[in-house]
Structure 1
Amino acid sequence: MGMLIGTGHTLHIMSSMIPIFIMPIAVVDSVHILSEFFDAYQQRKNRKETLIYVMGDLFKPMFFTSLTSAAGFASLAFTPIPPVQAFGIFVALGILLAWFLTIIFIPAYIMMMKEESLENFGTDTADASHKNSFLNRHLRWIGKTSSGKPWLVIGVNIGIMIVGVVGIFMIKVNDNPVKWFKKSHEIRVADRVLNSHFGGTYEAYLILAGNVQEMTVAQAAEQLKEKLRFILQGSPAILSSAMEDVDQEIADSKSVQGLKDALAQLWNIELDNAPEDDDTVYDSWGKALDSLGGIGAQKEVFKRPDVLRYISDFQKHLAQKGDVGKSNTVADVVKKVHMELFEGDPQRFAIPDTVNAVAQTLISYQNSHKPDDLWHLVTPDYTKANLWLQLRSGDNLDMERVIEDVEQYFAANPPPVELSHDWAGLTYINVVWQEKMVTGMMESFLSSFAVVFLMMTFLFRSPTWGMLAMVPLTFTIGFIYGFIGLIGKDYDMPVAVLSSLALGLAVDFAIHFLQRTRMTMAKTGDWGEAIRDMFDDPARAILRNIIVIAIGFTPLLLAPLVPYQTVGVFLATIMLYSGMATLWILPALLTVMKDWVFKKELKAFAEKAEG
Structure 2
Amino acid sequence: GIIFILLAFIFRNLRGIFLPLSVVIFAVIWTMGAMAILGRPMSHATEIMPILIMAIAVADSIHIISHFYHHVSLTPDPVARTITRATMTEMLSPVVMTSLTTMAGFLALGTVGAESISELGYFTAFGVFSALIISITWIPAFLAILKIPKRYRGKESRRHAADWVEKWGFFLVRRQKWLMPFIVLMTLFSIWGISRLQHSFSSVENFPVDHPVRFANEIVNEHFAGTTSFDIMIEGREPGDMKDPVLLSQLDELKQLALKIDHVGSVQSLADFIKRINKVLHADDPAFYTIPPIEARVTGSEWVEKNGGWVEVSKEYTVSGEELVAQYLQLFEMSGKPQDMSNLVDYPYRHAKVSIMINSDKQSTLRAIDQELTTYINENMNRNENISAAITGMAKLFLVVDDLIVKGQIWSILTSLLLVWVITWAMFRSPTVGLFNTIPLFFALFLNFAFMGFAGINLNLETLTISSIAIGVGVDYAIHFVHRYRIKLREGLDYDAAVPATMREAGLAIFFNSITVAAGFSIIAMSQFVAIMEMGVLITLTMLTAAFGALTILPGVFLTFKPKSLAR
Normalised TM-score (structure 2): 0.81
Deviation at 1:444, TM superposition (A): 3.5
> What is the CA–CA distance in structure 2 between the aligned matches of 1:456 and 1:81, rounded to whole Å?
28
Letter in 1 for 2:512: R
1:378 aligns to what SS in structure 2?
A: coil
2:276 paired with 1:308? no
Deviation at 1:334, TM superposition (A): 1.5
Alignment of 1:142-181 (within 5 A): 142-181=168-207
The answer on whether the counterparts of 1:550 and 1:576 sit within 8 Å (CA) in structure 2 is yes
> What is the CA–CA distance in structure 2 between the aligned matches of 1:474 and 1:489, rounded to whole Å?
19
> What is the CA–CA distance in structure 1 between the aligned matches of 2:201 and 2:112, rounded to whole Å?
18
Describe the superposition over 1:2-35 as per-residue Cα deviations: whole angstroms up to 9, x where unpaired.
Answer: 2112201111112212223222321211221233
Change (3 A) 1:518 1:378: same
The answer on whether the counterparts of 1:136 and 1:536 sit within 8 Å (CA) in structure 2 is yes
Describe the superposition over 1:385-424 as per-residue Cα deviations: whole angstroms up to 9, x where unpaired.
Answer: 3111222244555433321121244467789956642123
The answer on whether the counterparts of 1:210 and 1:417 sit within 8 Å (CA) in structure 2 is no
> What is the CA–CA distance in structure 1 between the aligned matches of 2:528 and 2:190, rounded to whole Å?
30
Name 1:25's counterpart in structure 2: 56
2:332 paired with 1:365? yes
> What is the CA–CA distance in structure 2 between the aligned matches of 1:338 and 1:523, rounded to whole Å?
94
The answer on whether the counterparts of 1:306 and 1:416 sit within 8 Å (CA) in structure 2 is no
Alignment of 1:544-563 (within 5 A): 544-563=512-531
Aligned pair partner of 1:321 in 258, 261, 269: 261
2:485 paired with 1:517? yes
When you count strand as a share of all residues, which structure comes out higher? Answer: 2
Describe the superposition over 1:455-514 as per-residue Cα deviations: whole angstroms up to 9, x where unpaired.
Answer: 111111111101101111122112212332343321111211111111112210110000
The answer on whether the counterparts of 1:377 and 1:387 sit within 8 Å (CA) in structure 2 is yes
Change (3 A) 1:584 1:415: closer
Name 1:332's counterpart in structure 2: 272
> What is the CA–CA distance in structure 1 between the aligned matches of 2:406 and 2:392, rounded to whole Å?
20
1:388 aligns to what SS in structure 2?
A: strand
Change (3 A) 1:91 1:575: same
Letter in 1 for 2:46: S
Normalised TM-score (structure 1): 0.76
Aligned pair partner of 2:118 in 85, 93, 104: 85
Deviation at 1:97, TM superposition (A): 0.6
> What is the CA–CA distance in structure 1 between the aligned matches of 2:382 and 2:480, rounded to whole Å?
65
Structure 1: stretches of 5+ with no match in the other structure: 213-298, 601-611
Identity of aligned residues (%): 26
The answer on whether the counterparts of 2:166 and 2:501 sit within 8 Å (CA) in structure 1 is no
> What is the CA–CA distance in structure 2 between the aligned matches of 1:415 and 1:104, rounded to whole Å?
64
Deviation at 1:85, TM superposition (A): 2.5
The answer on whether the counterparts of 1:590 and 1:597 sit within 8 Å (CA) in structure 2 is no
The answer on whether the counterparts of 1:178 and 1:187 sit within 8 Å (CA) in structure 2 is yes
The answer on whether the counterparts of 2:192 and 2:450 sit within 8 Å (CA) in structure 1 is yes
Describe the superposition over 1:108-166 as per-residue Cα deviations: whole angstroms up to 9, x where unpaired.
Answer: 33345444xx23358934x9xx65x3x45652443234333334212222232233334
Describe the superposition over 1:433-474 as per-residue Cα deviations: whole angstroms up to 9, x where unpaired.
Answer: 443343234223312321221111111111110110111112
2:173 paired with 1:206? no
Name 1:374's counterpart in structure 2: 341
Name 2:134's counterpart in structure 1: 101
2:136 aligns to what SS in structure 1?
A: helix
Name 2:12's counterpart in structure 1: none
The answer on whether the counterparts of 1:146 and 1:585 sit within 8 Å (CA) in structure 2 is no
Deviation at 1:357, TM superposition (A): 4.1
Deviation at 1:58, TM superposition (A): 1.7
2:372 paired with 1:405? yes
Name 1:294's counterpart in structure 2: none
Q: Report the number of matched residues.
A: 507
Name 2:416's counterpart in structure 1: 448
> What is the CA–CA distance in structure 2 between the aligned matches of 1:320 and 1:399, rounded to whole Å?
14
Name 1:590's counterpart in structure 2: 558
> What is the CA–CA distance in structure 1 between the aligned matches of 2:479 and 2:127, rounded to whole Å?
20
Structure 2: stretches of 5+ with no match in the other structure: 1-31, 297-320
Which is further off, 200-209 or 300-309? 300-309
Q: Which has the larger radius of gyration?
A: 1
Name 1:43's counterpart in structure 2: 74
Letter in 2 for 1:124: K
Please tell me the root mean square deviation across aligned C-alpha atoms, in Å: 2.9
> What is the CA–CA distance in structure 2 between the aligned matches of 1:393 and 1:357, rounded to whole Å?
39
The answer on whether the counterparts of 2:488 and 2:498 sit within 8 Å (CA) in structure 1 is yes
